[in-house]
A and B are shown apart, each in its own frame.
Chain A
């Protein structure tokens, strides 16, 4: 394992050190004193790599990443998992806005709350199936333009409504699962709320168990409450607006 002390370090130097470590064959990197450095793990393409960040990473954590797993002990700022291709980001804290923007694959687990426009334009493709699991609640525009993949919203703290407004606006693929349902949230006109079926329950259980394992919860407690799914009513919301 390699330890990096990132205190006062520019992101460019930090990323060079990470890339250098991976090129030398190391697979386990621990970074101390992370404080606002952007782009940690940007564009890294390698499987079986674990990066632990202690502190608060800056914007675009894991942007364009393809394979590695990043665990953050702290909160993250905006744009974590931006255009993520594959890999995993586990956040033992809360996230800013734009988490998982345009992610095509991989998984993001957040223990706490997330900001605005999370999961915007997520999409899936063949074996790529992006998943975001949120322990707390989300702000407005969750899953906007969403074209694929899955967001699971647990709302464990129950200190405010589970999501903000414009939930799923422009959504045309994928599914958002909300524990207890999206009560009090204004939904986008493209989506409707349904009860979950057996298939959905199986998917939720799988990820809830992982969530519980990462963050020290009892999955039975999480799964006790009923889940609802928010899905688009059409896959072609803009199919009939043109004159040819």
Chain B
């Protein structure tokens, strides 16, 4: 009978001439790929267990290990690829739902790769961000319909008549997406939280509650209120900079979350406020939200509970009807909307859902921004895009398509060491990120992690300034929804229409 064992995706090639048999690889691999035979002094590798995370390769002091794709292949077949064949073999063994981690890895069209940016030439000057002030400051929250000023203030200036609704102030339009303590380690949470505070952006608890060791970073935390209401109490709501009702997630639109009991350790149980060892089930719907009116009820329950001083947002997955849904959410009173596209990541999701449900964030952001503008309510909520931002250029394009800011998850984890092996759900992350095993989590030093995540924010912010300057724009505010700065390459008329952009070669 076929066995999943033969499905090994990777091989760890050992260069015997370099290997000094220090056994570091044996000690570090949480998947037990490597073993040492004391009698013969030989090292063995069971490739079938290899996740392809490259940790042993990185730690090998003599560079003796190389992780490569397993070239053993099934007969070439455009339909029955090795991947599909082995998925069926694995499922035949226990009849379960196939789990996976990270974002969608299917080759759906990535529109960012078919959009190019503009730059100034001759007729308008570009700006040198190294010499000129360049503003990336972004405010997330409801903006008034109009602003009026009255007479002279104390210092002689004008005084704003309106009371501006609560905002969160970001030094750059990049935030860390919702990743719960539970899906990632406390050291990973600390790294991101500290980086966000140091840089002046926000991080997000996910639906796992707020660990007391993260309280020092709560000035810049967005806390989630999800269907399971784990860890949600008045303290949690009061500490936060902003609140986010989690309705959906790009990696698993329409389905709930499930943290199996074996992963609910003593520490996890404290922040989620459930007994250790019990399943943490986040039902697919919020049981108090079956309509836009119900959503409004929860938004205002949260505003009442926190005295109307924090923005309250709603996160949804990008699905077919995303634009009208977003309109409903704004009308329900949300101060910001988060839309998570089909490439959004996860700690665990059924592969069938992750790989097939939802729409790309590029199209969703364009559609939502367009709809809200048409309805004259775009100012009433900020739009945060999430789901697969790999470079600063993706972010610039998303903002020009209409986003106020973006959430980054996968790229933030890559800054901490993640190699996107997609095995987060096993809880055996060798990089100490998607695991709660103390032997593994201590590999991630939160001080170093924070510095690396900070560096990523800094690097991308510098690049965004460069691109803005090239376009002759000196504030990211002027880029938002500025689709004239974008041109499509190789896109159909319909795609261009949905994105609201012209094709390359068309002038203003």
Binding site for B on A (CB under 8 A): 11-12, 15, 19, 38-39, 42-45, 59-60, 63-66, 78-79, 82-83, 85, 98, 101-102, 104, 117, 120-121, 123-126, 128, 144-145, 147-148, 170, 172-173, 235-244
Query: Which residues on A sit within 8 Å (CB–CB) of B97?
Result: 241-243
Q: Is the CB of A239 within 8 A of B260?
A: yes
With contact pairs A82-B301, A148-B274, A235-B278 given, residues A243 and B269 touching in the complex (Cβ less than 8 Å)? no
Q: When A and B form their complex, which 3 residue pairs have the shortest distance between CB atoms, in order from nearest?
A: A43-B305, A243-B96, A102-B229
Q: Which B residues from 253 to 281 make CB contacts under 8 A with A?
A: 258, 260-261, 269, 273-275, 278-279, 281
Q: Is the CB of B279 within 8 A of A172?
A: yes
With A66-B234, A102-B229, A121-B283 known as contacts, the answer to whether A43 contacts B304 (CB < 8 A) is: yes
B260 to chain A, nearest CB (A): 7
Q: B39 at the A/B interface (Cβ < 8 Å)?
A: no
Q: Is the CB of B96 within 8 A of A241?
A: yes
Q: Which of B281-328 contact A (CB under 8 A)?
A: 281, 283, 287-288, 297, 300-302, 304-307
8 Å CB contact of A243 from B94, B238, B275, B302: B94
Interface residues of B in 447-499 (CB under 8 A from A): none
Once bound together, how far apart are the Cα atoms of A101 and B290, in whole Å? 14
Chain A, Cβ-Cβ closest to B94: A243
Interface of chain B residues 50 through 98 with chain A (CB within 8 A)? 90-91, 93-98
Cα distance A235–B99 in the bound complex, in angstroms: 21
Residues of B within 8 A of A243 (CB): 90-91, 93-99
Q: Is the CB of A147 within 8 A of B237?
A: no
User: What residues of chain B lie closer than 8 Å to A237, measured between beta carbons?
Assistant: 279
Among A64, A117, A125, A235, the residue within 8 A (CB) of B279 is: A235
* B99 with A39: CB separation less than 8 A: no
**Which residues of chain B are within 8 angstroms of A43 by Cβ–Cβ distance?**
234, 237-238, 304-306
Which B residues touch A172, using CB under 8 A? 278-279, 281
- With A64-B237, A239-B260 already in contact, the answer to whether A148 and B98 are too (CB < 8 A) is no
Q: What A residues does B90 contact at CB under 8 A? A: 243
23 cross-chain CB contacts under 8 A? A15-B304, A38-B301, A42-B305, A43-B304, A43-B305, A43-B306, A60-B288, A60-B297, A63-B305, A82-B288, A85-B233, A101-B287, A102-B232, A102-B287, A104-B229, A124-B274, A125-B275, A145-B283, A172-B278, A172-B281, A173-B278, A235-B278, A244-B99
A73 to B: closest C-beta gap in Å: 22
Tell me if B426 is interfacial: C-beta within 8 Å of chain A: yes
* A128 to B227 CA separation, bound complex (whole angstroms): 19
- Once bound together, how far apart are the Cα atoms of A19 and B99, in whole Å? 47
Q: Which of B227, B233, B260 has the most CB of A within 10 A?
A: B233
With an 8 A cutoff between CB atoms, is B228 at the interface? yes
CB-based contact A147/B278 at 8 Å? yes
Residue in contact with A125 in the complex, picked from B273, B301, B426, CB distance below 8 Å = B273
Any A CB within 8 A of the CB of B235? yes
Cβ-defined contact, B304 with A240, below 8 A: no
Whether, in the assembled complex, B111 has its beta carbon less than 8 Å from a beta carbon of chain A, the answer is no
Does B425 sit at the interface, judged by CB under 8 A? yes
Minimum C-beta distance from A236 to chain B (A): 6
- Shortest C-beta distance, A24 to chain B (Å), equals 16
Tell me the B residues contacting A by CB distance below 8 Å: 90-91, 93-99, 227-229, 232-235, 237-238, 258, 260-261, 269, 273-275, 278-279, 281, 283, 287-288, 297, 300-302, 304-307, 425-426
Shortest Cβ distance from residue A101 to the other chain B in the assembled complex, whole angstroms: 6
- Residues A238 and B426 in contact, CB atoms below 8 Å apart: no
Chain A residue nearest to B90 in the complex (CB): A243
B233→A104 contact, CB < 8 A: yes
Q: Contact between B304 and A42 (Cβ–Cβ < 8 Å)?
A: yes
Chain A residues with CB under 8 Å of B93's CB are 243
Option from B232, B258, B300 in Cβ contact (under 8 Å) with A39: B300
Q: Are A66 and B281 neighbours in the complex by a CB distance under 8 Å? A: no
B297/A242 in contact, CB under 8 A: no
Whole-angstrom distance from the CB of A231 to the nearest CB of chain B? Answer: 14
Smallest CB gap from A64: residue in B: B305
- Shortest C-beta distance, A40 to chain B (Å), equals 9
A189 → chain B closest CB, angstroms: 16
Which residues in B have their C-beta under 8 angstroms from that of A101? 287-288
List the A side residues contacting B227 at CB < 8 Å: 121
On whether the beta carbons of B278 and A64 are closer than 8 Å, the reply is no
Q: Is the CB of B275 within 8 A of A64?
A: no
Residue of B90, B98, B283, B301 with highest tally of chain A CB at under 10 A: B301
Contacts of B301 in A (CB 8 A): 38-39, 42, 60, 63-64, 82
Q: Distance in Å from the Cβ of B300 to the closest Cβ of chain A?
A: 7
User: How far is B307's CA from A236's CA once the two chains are assembled, in angstroms?
Assistant: 39
For residue A222, give the distance in angstroms from its CB to the closest CB of chain B. 30
With both beta carbons as reference points, the residue of chain B lying nearest to A67 in the complex is identified as B234
**What's the least CB distance linking B356 to chain A, in Å?**
17
Closest to A79 in B: B288
- Taken together as a complex, chains A and B put the C-alpha atoms of A148 and B229 apart, in Å, by 14
Contacts of A244 in B (CB 8 A): 96, 99, 425-426
Are B281 and A38 touching (Cβ within 8 A)? Answer: no
How long is the Cα–Cα vector from A82 to B307 in the complex, in angstroms? 18
Q: Which A residues are in CB contact (< 8 Å) with B297?
A: 38, 59-60, 79
Q: Which residues of A contact B228 (CB under 8 A)?
A: 102, 121
A238, B279: Cβ atoms closer than 8 Å: yes
* List of A residues within 8 angstroms of B305 by Cβ: 39, 42-43, 63-64
Give bound CA distance, A145 to B230, whole Å.
14
Q: Give A119 Cβ to nearest chain B Cβ, in Å.
A: 11
Docked Cα-Cα span, A232 to B425, in Å, equals 27
A125 to B287, CA, bound (A): 20
User: How many Å from the CB of B440 to the closest CB on chain A?
Assistant: 17
Q: Once bound together, how far apart are the Cα atoms of A64 and B258, in whole Å?
A: 23
Are the C-beta atoms of B275 and A148 separated by less than 8 Å?
yes
Shortest C-beta distance, A68 to chain B (Å), equals 11
Tell me which residues across on chain A come within 8 A of B425, comparing CB atoms: 244
Note all chain B residues with C-beta closer than 8 A to A85. Answer: 233-234
Residues of chain B lying within 8 A (CB to CB) of residue A173:
275, 278
Contact of B300 among A38, A65, A98, A236 (CB under 8 A): A38
